[in-house]
A and B are shown apart, each in its own frame.
Chain A
Amino acid sequence: MPPIENDTGRAELKTRIQQLIDSNPVLVFSKSYCPFCVKVKDLFKELNVICNAVELDLMADGSNLQDMLMEMTGQKTVPNVFINKTHIGGCDKTLQAHRDGLLQQLLGGENETYDYDLIVIGGGSGGLACSKEAALLGKKVMVLDYVVPTPLGTTWGLGGTCVNVGCIPKKLMHQTAVLGTAMQDARKFGWEFSEAVKHNWETMKTAVNNYIGSLNWGYRVALRDKNVNYVNAYAEFIEPHKIKATNRRGKEVFHTAARFVLATGERPRYLGIPGDKEYCITSDDLFSLPHCPGKTLVIGASYVALECGGFLAGLGLDVTVMVRSILLRGFDQDMANRAGEHMEEHGVKFLRKFVPVKVEELEKGTPGRLKVTAKSTDSDEIFEGEFNTVLIAVGRDACTGKIGLDKAGVHVNAKNGKIPVNDEEQTNVPHIYAIGDILEGKWELTPVAIQAGKLLARRLYKGGTLKCDYVNVPTTVFTPLEYGCCGLSEEKALELYGQDNIEIYHSLFWPLEFTVPNRDNNKCYSKIICNKLDSERVVGFHYLGPNAGEVTQGYGAAMKCGITKEQLDNTVGIHPTCAEIFTTMEVTKSSGGDISQAGC
């Protein structure tokens, strides 16, 4: 049939198409031989949805229909998909709509409307970043945040772990300890102060918590200013698109949303031994402890354990760290052991290869007295010790068990409670996403969660395509001698590239600031791991020394740009600094050459 020239014919054709669109819940204009059309039809089959296909190649006026479709939808190609009268587009758009949950929403019949475009569960760094970004892009957003009190009743405000019971108070208390060391150094530099120096826990605690209070308020104001609806209530799914929010007084309110972001984070794990929840504290309690913890036993060798043990010792307290096997699991072990050795040299006691059995209270008080019984992991030896405070830092559990994920159909790794997602932070349920510490196999770091949350919102609501990059993320452990790293550990590099294909450059160094007080010579250490198969590109960066965070951040940027050993060598150092050591690394680990710093 020739193209239709007259208007009547065109109008008729248009009406015919419109009728098809109006009368079929799912309509696909298709060509019988087109593989993309088959793909789309298969998708609907998979979804158990009846799909009506109009095979244009089998119709006499098929090409006229196709032209008219072009005029009506701006799309010339097939498949051309309509759901409940809404034009979806071609194969890619349909598959995308399925991934976004839009398809399900449209198929859900009667164009169901939700209270919100997005509900974010969890008001930590990731959840706040995501919700604010989504609201900025014009979406109707709700954030629910609720802190379940610790067994000892500690609770806190908006902002999540980092702000309240993590990075922020940790770094401030680490700084408190660093100042203590600086005061000792100061006498060597000529400062004279006669009185014995004392530390007041309560002053520090109040100052730190006042700052946190101001941050909590700042977050609250930011949510108001960006039109995010914030609710201080515990959220759990009761249907895939519906949650129940329970507030402090037990009042329940229901909310629905087109999409959800899970950002509930993690909480410290307990030991499951007698007395742990009754008498022990975790990092959730430590930073707001009303009294000085006194003689402290830290159980665990996680970074939380070493950081807390480190600053407590730095305040002058008697600190013992009970380690089951290794320090800083997952981190470069050479570096972890060096950081541990430094702690040991500065008075922290390590009780290795022991696990606690029970904790008993000898005397109540602020602090009281506790008796800890532990057993050796490789002999019958029993340890009994008396402490004022026992801090458990043996890891953290994802808060995914009590938020009704089964009702929403979200898969959770039963072993660790973590949520598997694709590279776009999408769970197995297309309209539910997850970010932050609860993700399986991803970094548990605030800036990573923020980045992921922001980029997710932009992809969902701004057509963004950028995905969160989880490679070469720099981080720092604030042990007394700080440890910064980026990229691979030595163990991981060996595993990935093989001994023959990596070259490790390393060096001890003595910060200028340490020379006058004459302390910690040949303790600071730097190491880079290079891939010989790729122009000695730096794949691992490790730094043990003062200001590790400041040093590592810049080198992290360089690694993002793919810096090689040669480019590091061509970089001019800043003198005198610690960071400059990386521009003059000559000794390889394989050579066994001397890396100690000789005196002048």
Chain B
Amino acid sequence: MAHRLLVRRIWTVSVRDVRCPRAPSSALYSTSLCSSASPQPLLSPRRSLTRALPVTSRRQVSFNVQDQEDFTERVINSELPVVIDFHAQWCGPCKILGPRLEKAIGKQKGRVTMAKVDIDEHTDLAIEYGVSAVPTVIAMRGGDVIDQFVGIKDEDQLDSFVKKLIGQ
């Protein structure tokens, strides 16, 4: 029993550690990361270790919006559909939703990207997009708002939200 418990704990930790946290569109990592759909190799500590190494050159699943111009360029004019996460540092639920959302985006292997907007730093953007409460998540394609929700959602709901955006 104790043994099983231990194994399970390692399993959980491993999954969390190596969940696709970044866009696998980068050739370097796409294969290995996305093959991680199979849980088997994750239990190998050696491989986990390799993945934990920071690789700055690879493209991120999500990025922080810097300013209005950046938003126009990387969100409105984005070729990929974008999920915009309006969040605030003082918002507890945002801290839960953010990583969950990143995970859901990561599963889509680069077919969608995620923009994070701190509403206190970029108040005008948040006001413009009608954000009243946080977290507010907006799905955008070609500069148009396709869908949105406010508050916490579970992983399945996030998956279907993202899938809907990329048209699956």
A residues apposed to B, CB below 8 Å: 157, 209-214, 216-217, 220-221, 224-225
Contacts and interface: CB of A to CB of B under 8 A. Distances in A.
Given A217-B134, A221-B132, A209 B90 contact: yes
Contacts of B77: none
A466 B22 CA distance: 61
A212 B119 CA distance: 14
B64 interface: no
B88 interface: yes
Contacts of A213: 88-91, 120
Most A Cβ at <10 Å: residue of B89, B90, B92, B131: B90
B127 interface: yes
B90 A220 contact: no
B157 interface: no
B127 A214 contact: no
A214 B132 contact: no
B91 A214 contact: yes
20 contacts: A209-B90, A210-B89, A210-B92, A211-B90, A212-B90, A213-B88, A213-B90, A213-B120, A214-B90, A214-B91, A216-B120, A217-B88, A217-B120, A217-B134, A220-B123, A220-B127, A221-B127, A221-B131, A221-B132, A225-B132
Chain B interface SS verdict (over half): loop
A157 B88 contact: no
Contact of A214 (B88, B123, B131): B88
Nearest to B92: A210
Nearest to A213: B90
A217 B127 contact: no
A141 B37 CA distance: 56
Given A210-B91, A213-B89, A213-B120, 18 more contacts: A209-B90, A210-B90, A210-B92, A212-B90, A213-B88, A213-B90, A214-B88, A216-B120, A217-B88, A217-B119, A217-B120, A220-B123, A220-B127, A221-B127, A221-B131, A221-B132, A224-B127, A225-B132
Interface string B130-165: 011010000000000000000000000000000000
Interface string B67-107: 00000000000000000000011111000000000000000
Contacts of B92: 210
A136 B53 CA distance: 56
A376 B119 CA distance: 51
A154 to B, nearest CB: 16
A224 B125 CA distance: 12
Contact of B120 (A157, A211, A224, A225): A157
Contacts of B120: 157, 213, 216-217
A220 B123 CA distance: 9
Most B Cβ at <10 Å: residue of A211, A212, A221, A225: A221
Contacts of A157: 120
A213 B92 CA distance: 12
A405 B132 CA distance: 36
A210 to B, nearest CB: 4
A224 B134 CA distance: 16
Contacts of A224: 127
Nearest to B89: A213
Nearest to A209: B90
A224 B119 CA distance: 14
A156 to B, nearest CB: 11
A368 B90 CA distance: 28
A15 to B, nearest CB: 54
A297 to B, nearest CB: 31
Nearest to A222: B132
A224 B128 CA distance: 9
A209 B131 CA distance: 21
Nearest to A230: B127
A225 B130 CA distance: 9
A212 B134 CA distance: 14
A214 B132 CA distance: 11
A214 B134 CA distance: 9
8 cross-chain pairs, A with B, having the tightest CB-CB distances, nearest first: A213-B90, A210-B90, A221-B132, A224-B127, A214-B90, A213-B88, A220-B123, A217-B119
B117 to A, nearest CB: 13
Interface string B27-62: 000000000000000000000000000000000000
Contacts of B123: 220
Nearest to B132: A221
Contacts of B88: 213-214, 217
A145 to B, nearest CB: 12
Contacts of B132: 221, 225
A209 B89 CA distance: 10
Nearest to A224: B127
Most B Cβ at <10 Å: residue of A157, A217, A224, A225: A217
Contacts of A217: 88, 119-120, 134
Contacts of A209: 90
Nearest to B119: A217
Most B Cβ at <10 Å: residue of A209, A212, A213: A213
Contacts of B127: 220-221, 224
A167 B134 CA distance: 25
Contacts of B91: 210, 213-214
A565 to B, nearest CB: 48
A296 to B, nearest CB: 26
A38 B88 CA distance: 64
A157 B90 CA distance: 13
A221 B127 CA distance: 7
B81 to A, nearest CB: 27
A100 B12 CA distance: 70
B130 to A, nearest CB: 8
Nearest to A207: B90
A363 B12 CA distance: 48
Nearest to B130: A224
A221 to B, nearest CB: 5
A216 B89 CA distance: 13
Contacts of A210: 89-92
B120 to A, nearest CB: 7
A220 B122 CA distance: 12
A216 B120 CA distance: 9
A545 to B, nearest CB: 34
Nearest to A158: B123
Contacts of A225: 132
B97 to A, nearest CB: 16
A478 B92 CA distance: 29
A216 B123 CA distance: 11
B119 to A, nearest CB: 6
Nearest to A223: B127
Contacts of B134: 217
Nearest to A215: B90
A383 B49 CA distance: 62
A511 to B, nearest CB: 35
